[in-house]
Amino acid sequence: MNVLILGGTREARELADRASGERGFDIVSSLAGRVSDPLLPPGAVRIGGFGGAEGLREWLADNKIDAVVDATHPFAGTMSAHAATAAGALGVPLLHVRRPGWTEQPGDHWIRVPDLAAAAEALADLGERVFLTIGRQGVAAFAGLHRHWFLIRAIDPPEGAVPIRHQLLLARGPFPVAEEAGLLAEHRIEVLVTKDSGGTLTDAKLTAARAAGLPVVMVDRPALPPGGAVVDSAVEAWNWLRRKQTEK
């Protein structure tokens, strides 16, 4: 069974680790190629875009792919949509792996917003010293805020416009709670802005914000495209793949 795993996440690496080398499975993991030094999954890896939904459809057909696992990040909405279109056009089974989002706990003060533009608007009433942990993309949404100061953390430098008053911190998680609490104190942070990525690799900042009594602007995930099954872990994705193999 030829399987394409669309990756860039811990779940994608876990699934590739589980499935690579298993009898009857030929697994290829795909990465966008955005990060300069990506964490590579085990097994075969291809890097770079496919050229839109049509390019992906051709790639799936050329490589005789029997199943697609979209284990991209919950905010990689374009790739998920292309996967749905391309797999749908060929009648290839598609699975989305979506880890659960984060849930507000007692003591949290979260402001949920639908997108980054709304997050930038919400900052008007929430403090001027901002810890921005939304990744490299989308920082431009905050570039018009001249009154605010931003600590911007990402793995690689942001693309496009950035706010005038900022400090860049290049780092890859996981980050321990004590380190996150230290950052909030050192930079006198008044508000945290993050995306509802879910998972345990990067949730320490939420614990630190709760302990410090800071508001959190939480950007909601984009909706998944219609079609395709959905699970929330690599283990369940592996079970789905084995079922598909039996059905084949």
Q: Tell me the closest approach of the beta carbon of residue 29 to ligand NAP, in angstroms.
A: 8
Q: Quick one: CA dihedral 5, 171, 165, 158, positive or negative?
A: negative
CA dist 11 and 16 (Å) reads 9
With the CA atoms of 193, 199, 204 and 210 taken in that order, what torsion angle do they form, in degrees rounded to the nearest 10? Answer: 60
Q: Which is nearer to ligand NAP, 93 or 198 (CB)?
A: 198
Q: Tell me the closest approach of the beta carbon of residue 91 to ligand NAP, in angstroms.
A: 20
Q: Which is nearer to ligand NAP, 197 or 215 (CB)?
A: 197
Burial of 6 (0-12, 13-18, 19+ CB in 10 A): buried
Q: Tell me the closest approach of the beta carbon of residue 128 to ligand NAP, in angstroms.
A: 25
Question: With contact defined as beta carbons under 8 Å apart, do 93 and 244 qualify?
Answer: yes
- State the DSSP code for 92: -
> Where on the chain is the footprint of ligand NAP (CB under 6 A)?
6-9, 30-32, 34, 49-52, 55-56, 72-73, 75-79, 82, 135, 137
Q: Tell me the closest approach of the beta carbon of residue 218 to ligand NAP, in angstroms.
A: 14
- The residue of the chain with the least Cβ separation from ligand NAP equals 49
Q: Which is nearer to ligand NAP, 60 or 241 (CB)?
A: 60
Q: Which is nearer to ligand NAP, 41 or 93 (CB)?
A: 41
User: What radius of gyration do the chain's Cα atoms show?
Assistant: 19
